[in-house]
Amino acid sequence: MSTDAPHTGQLPDDAEQGTSLWADAWARLRKNRLALFGLGVIIFLCVVSLLTPWIAPYGYEQQNLALGATPPSWQHWFGTDIFGRDLLTRVMWGGRMSLMVGFVATGVALVIGVLWGTVAGYAGGRVDAVMMRLVDILYALPFMIFIILLMVVFGRNIILLFLAIGAVEWLTMARIVRGQVQSLRRQEFIEAAHSLGLSRWRIIRKHLIPNSLGPVIVYTTLTIPSVMLLEAFLSFLGLGVQPPESSWGLLINNGVETMEEYPWLLIFPGLALAITLFSLNFLGDGLRDALDPRSSKD
């Protein structure tokens, strides 16, 4: 990065790329240790999840009924469950599922929600009314009925899981973004952009979205863990993940039932989720600050 380059008459090399908000954001993020730590943990978890089929110590459905539930030991670092399955392996496989659901469903919600909200807020008037009434209608649809309908029509399917979760999560995102954009739209710099003759798409992309990012990022970091828990709930209902496959939510759910006898069955998946959540929050806060040029004085 060339942020430390002397700012004399000469232009910094990356100035011509026109991406300096992101470049600067990265430079600021690198100074935030907590956020970097969060980023590191998340990258680590993702890498482990990707490599799980090759590095997991046991098979995720490999049972050892004779062994039963044993506490952590050198053979089984996280212990085993009542079927004698290695918990570390199951947490790793569960992480694959949970992180995938968390990131993909949130990503889908983010893209749809931000675009929908920005367009509605920016267009205003009738377009806005129609778009937001649609959001209201979807909000009003009882979640359970929606899911049962999906199950009846399509049967159990992992893609449905993303669909169902994405379909609820983008609504709130759209509302948040719309509110932001509505207040931004009246600002003079948007009017200035109009008078410069910028296209609407460019105004949305360059002026509106970057300025509404703060709350979006915070909400995103809140959405990822809630999506992971939603997945556990859906799996519990029979949509989504079924044993012997695993996910963190499912493991925690099962762990709760045997909490008194075998606490490690709750503790380890719970820890995995908690660490992810913490890291996401650190990263989210860091990102929000990094993307706001006003937040740091350097």
Partner 1 sequence: MALLEVTNLKVHFHTRNGVVKAVDGVSFNVEAGQTLGIVGESGSGKSVCCYSLLGLVPQPPGRIEAGTALFDGEDLLRCSRRRLRQLRGNEIAVIFQDPMTCLNPYLTIGEQLIEPLLYHRKTPRKEARQQAVALLDEVGIRQPERRFDSYPHELSGGMRQRVMIAMALIAEPRLIICDEPTTALDVTIQAQILKLIKDLQHKRQVAVIFISHDLAVVSEVADHVLVMQNGRVVEQGEVAELFSNPSEAYTRKLIASIPDGAKSAAPERRELQPHPLVSVSHLRTWFRDHSIGLFSPAAAKAQRHIKALDDVSLRIERHEILGVVGESGSGKSTLGRAILGLAPVTDGRIIYDGRDITNLSARAMKPLRRRMQMIFQDPYASLNPRMTIFETLAEPLLVHGLANRRTVAAQVLALMDDVGLVRTCIRKYPHEFSGGQRQRIAIGRAIATRPEFIVADEPVSALDVTIQAQILDLILDLVARHDLTMMFISHDLGVVRYIADRVLVLHRGQVVEEGDTGKVWAAPQAEYTRELLQAIPRLAHVQP
Q: Which residues bind to partner 1, rule: CB under 8 A?
A: 7-9, 11-12, 15-16, 18, 20-21, 24, 187-189, 191-200, 202, 206-207, 210-211, 291-294, 297
CA distance 33 to 45: 18
CA distance 93 to 248: 9
Nearer to partner 1 (CB atom), residue 19 or residue 73: 19
Nearer to partner 1 (CB atom), residue 22 or residue 139: 22
CA distance 71 to 232: 24
Q: Cα torsion at 218, 221, 225, 226 (round to 10°)? A: 40
| 31: its two tokens | 């100074």
CA distance 230 to 91: 17
Residue with tokens 């109009």: 194
CA distance 156 to 48: 27
CA distance 254 to 81: 10
In the complex, minimum distance from the CB of residue 179 to partner 1, in angstroms, rounded to a whole number: 18
- 52: burial class by Cβ within 10 Å (0-12, 13-18, 19+)? middle
Nearer to partner 1 (CB atom), residue 24 or residue 285: 24
Residue 22, classed as helix, strand or coil, is helix
| 211: its two tokens | 């300025």
Nearer to partner 1 (CB atom), residue 135 or residue 208: 208
In Å, how far are 8, 136, 171 from 181, measured between CA atoms? 36, 18, 15
In the complex, minimum distance from the CB of residue 8 to partner 1, in angstroms, rounded to a whole number: 6
Nearer to partner 1 (CB atom), residue 192 or residue 259: 192
Nearer to partner 1 (CB atom), residue 245 or residue 292: 292
Nearer to partner 1 (CB atom), residue 142 or residue 294: 294
In the complex, minimum distance from the CB of residue 213 to partner 1, in angstroms, rounded to a whole number: 8
Nearer to partner 1 (CB atom), residue 12 or residue 179: 12
In the complex, minimum distance from the CB of residue 206 to partner 1, in angstroms, rounded to a whole number: 7
In the complex, minimum distance from the CB of residue 47 to partner 1, in angstroms, rounded to a whole number: 32
In the complex, minimum distance from the CB of residue 176 to partner 1, in angstroms, rounded to a whole number: 18
CB 14 within 8 A of CB 23: yes
In the complex, minimum distance from the CB of residue 16 to partner 1, in angstroms, rounded to a whole number: 5
In the complex, minimum distance from the CB of residue 39 to partner 1, in angstroms, rounded to a whole number: 21
CA distance 64 to 273: 26
CA distance 194 to 264: 60
